[in-house]
Structure 1
Amino acid sequence: MKLGMKIAALGLISLMVLSGCGSSEDGKSANDSGGKKDEKIIVYSNSVSNGRGDFLKEKAEEKGFKLEIVDLGGNDLLNRVIAEKDSPIADVVFGMNQMMFSKVEQEGIFESYKPKWLDKVDSSLVNKDNKYSPLQEQRVFMIYDANKIKPENAVKDWQDLASKSDLKGKYIVPKGLGGATANAVVYNILMNYQDEKSDNGISKEGWDEVKKFFKNGVAPSEGQSEVAELANGKVDYSFTWLSNIPIVEESLGIKLGVVNPSYGVPQTVEQVGIIKKDKMNAKVKEFVDFLGSTEVQSEWAEKFGSAPVNKDAQGSVNSRIAEILNETTPQDNDYDFINKHIDEWVEYIELNVLGN
């Protein structure tokens, strides 16, 4: 009986010791990071289509990261991150431009972090509080079929396009303003007509130009992209973004010409930020270091035609992308001004232009 009691006591002590060890390990993890070191990193992004998400998951797994990627459009991504402010699900978000990230920052959603690769980036692109960090540059511009139109015969800018009677119905306009690319087309025009005395910061002349642009253009047909409508000959002009050029040229068998207005083209920078949580994922900062690293950004540039801001990765930029970067000039935009007014511009256009 006594022997049995001793064995039971020893068993209880052993159980307590094992439990104590488990608590100690959990406590260490919680103190260090607030999360389990092998748990999945939940990534929200609008920049993982066309095989980019699969590439990222494979590269990440090689480095010991387990990713769960949620693919969302730009505005949907912005709205979801803000909607989940009080009960965040994502650990990290990347792909939105600096204006969208600024809106999220204003909500107090981001955790400050300075990635190890940030010293390889032009300091003018860096958020002063390190709430988010730049990854890749994008530019948005008008395009045409270079096999049909010679550069010297192409229109000079959006206003020129909208004013030519022979091009009425022969160019693509955004179907809606739910994405960053469509918005960029609009403010590429509007930023030439700033007027601080106006309620929405734009003169009447500017709004007249935008109305004419939409009125004389045509939206893509259901199921067709802006570039596909150009490739199939329905229109003479359309629009797209920088990293999309080599992809669509190869897939659609078209050589695109790019219009560089005298006032330049919108230049935005995709960012990455860490979502603030009570229990932070143990490996999320390490993942951000990985995502913006020279190795990943170089391979991303080679495979998907991106333009990384990591200077050590810029040698891997696709030759076609490098060509377009040289052919286009960034518009000198006040992005704080755009960020302040973009929502009311979109609302005005949707109600008074697209709605008519």
Structure 2
Amino acid sequence: MSKKALIVLFVVGVMIFAFTGCSTTEEPVEPAETPEVEEPAEEPAEEVSELEDKVVIYSTHGEDMIEMVAEAFQEETGVQVEYINLKGELAERVEAEKDNPQADVMFGGASNLFMDLKGKDLFEPFNPEWADELDPMFKDSENHWFGTIQTPVALFYNTDLVQPEDLPNDWYDLTDSKYEGKLIFRNALSSSARVMYSALIQQHEKNSSIEEGWEFMRALDKNTKQYFDSGSLMMQAIGREEASISFSTLNDVIDNKLNNNLPIEIIQLESGYPVITDGIAAIKNSPHPEAAKAFVEFAGSAEIQSMLANEFNRLPTHPGALATSPEWMDEITFEAMDVDWVDLSEKQSEWMQKWDTEIKDTGKDVN
């Protein structure tokens, strides 16, 4: 072999040795790992309680109004609504069924009734979405009941029978002999009448004495021509000019003035009107608890309160509903009577029993 060939082989051998030496001393390079990206934790799905297929309502509202709300709720949810109008027996029925409730919702009735029944542990507390919009005076501080309608109880008169100068300045003027036989009122079956009589008694108890309150009620009874079971019959008697002065809820006065063309106007009084808060509550341990809460949520919403304002002249508690209510609700002014509703709630039953058995129809001859 030539000298040149030996040199070439030597060089090639050195290169092979160098290459193999490097490969045996260096660790193989691992591919870089892709850093793990933590998946965001999934929020637990909000539990949506399934509504029962039925809800039972006990109410004091007129059947046409309850039916409108019931139909709207059924269309919205598919839940069948059964309702019973119990008028003045509403609270007693709910209390009597405490150990075995037959209804799911108490819809209507004055706030003092709700206060009384709350104290007897009859309502299931929860907080509807719209409740935060209400003035505190229109709801329970512990979310047991909520006001859906504010209902002033107003004195009114037949403008064809009484001149403005002959109108009373306050409730207490109604005991004047010039009003004898000119007054007609509701009896204690009416929740608004129960509140009205109790509020008048309470004013005397706070400012003078309960004895003077009963004397006032006797004098008022003497001037009262008749008591009515029915508000519509009482209004018809005013329209027939059988009497000239009465009281009723403000919406009832407006209804009969606008829709029945009765010549009636409210009377502004110095001590004002008691303003009833008509409430709604879910009954504790009811047969259909989820449907009950859904109905309360629905019935108190701004949309439904506005509907009742426009269809039935019911003054809403929800400020959002007032914005789309009839004009008269913004225009009417009245003084609200200073009523201690908690005190009235505690004493009303006792006072009304005494009124019904010892005062009513005792100041005059009854045929």
Report TM bin, short chain. 0.7 to 0.9
User: 1:182 is matched with which residue: 193, 198, 214?
Assistant: 193
Letter in 1 for 2:252: N
Paired residues in the alignment total 314
1:212 pairs with 2:219: yes
Match of 2:125 in 1: 112
Aligned AA (1:207):
W
Cα deviation for residue 32 of structure 1 reads 7.4
8 Å CA contact 1:113, 1:131 repeated in 2:
yes
Q: Tell me the CA shift for residue 234 of structure 1.
A: 0.6
Matched AA of 2:76: K
- Taking the aligned partners of 2:346 and 2:70, their CA distance within structure 1 comes to 35
CA separation in 2, counterparts of 1:91 and 1:55? 18
* Residues in 1 aligned to 2:331 and 2:248: alpha-carbon distance in whole angstroms: 16
**Which residue is 2:319 aligned to?**
311
Change (3 A) 1:227 1:194: same
From the superposition, tell whether residues 279 and 305 of structure 1 become closer, same or farther in structure 2 (CA, over 3 Å): closer
Q: 1:84 to 1:202 in 2, by over 3 A?
A: farther
Q: Secondary structure at the match of 2:183?
A: coil
AA paired with 2:271?
Answer: Y
Distance 1:38 1:351, change over 3 A: closer
Please state if 1:241 is matched with 2:269.
no
**Which shows bigger deviation, 277-286 or 238-247?**
277-286
Rg comparison, structure with higher value: 2
- Residues in 1 aligned to 2:199 and 2:113: alpha-carbon distance in whole angstroms: 17
Unpaired stretches in structure 2, ≥5 consecutive residues: 1-46, 363-367
Q: Find the counterpart in structure 2 of residue 92 from structure 1.
A: 105
Is the contact made by 2:148 and 2:277 (CA closer than 8 Å) also made in structure 1?
A: yes
In the TM superposition, residue 225 of structure 1 has moved relative to its aligned partner by 2.2
- Which residue is 1:12 aligned to? none
Rounded Cα–Cα distance in structure 2 between residues aligned with 1:140 and 1:245: 9
Counterpart residue number, 1:3? none
Q: Do structure 1's residue 134 and structure 2's residue 138 form an aligned pair? A: no
**Contact 2:54–2:291 (CA<8 Å) still a contact in 1?**
no
- Indicate the SS of the match to 1:117: helix
2:303 matches 1:295: yes
- Amino acid across the alignment from 2:155: M
* Residue 170 in structure 1 maps to residue 176 in structure 2: no
- How far off is 1:231 after superposition? 0.9
Matched, 1:144 2:157: yes
Normalising by structure 1, what TM-score? 0.81
Deviation at 1:133, TM superposition (A): 1.2
Residue identity (%): 23
Letter in 1 for 2:73: A
Select the residue among 279, 290, 297 that pairs with 1:282: 290
**Counterpart AA for 2:184:** I
Question: Aligned pair 1:76/2:84, yes or no?
Answer: no
Q: Specify the code of the residue in structure 1 equivalent to 2:134.
A: V
C-alpha change, 1:322 and 1:220, in structure 2 (3 Å) is farther
Residue in 2 aligned with 1:48? 62
- Mapped to 1, the partners of 2:51 and 2:295 lie a distance apart of 12
Residue in 2 aligned with 1:10? none
Q: Does 1:337 align with 2:343?
A: yes
Q: Alpha carbon RMSD of aligned pairs, Å? A: 2.3
How far apart, CA to CA, are the structure 1 residues paired with 2:360 and 2:71?
Answer: 42
2:212 maps to a residue whose letter is E
The alpha-carbon deviation at position 355 of structure 1 amounts to: 5.9
Contact 2:170 2:270 survives alignment (8 Å): yes
The 3-state SS of whatever aligns with 1:283 is: helix
Deviation at 1:166, TM superposition (A): 3.1
Of the three residues 137, 146, 158, the one matched with 2:171 is 158
Q: CA deviation at 1:221?
A: 6.5
Is 1:37 matched with 2:66? no
Look up the SS of the partner of 1:118 in the other structure.
helix
Q: Which residue of 2 aligns with 1:350?
A: 356
Q: Of 74, 81, 88, which residue of structure 2 is paired with 1:61? A: 74
In 2: Cα distance, 1:88 partner to 1:355 partner: 37
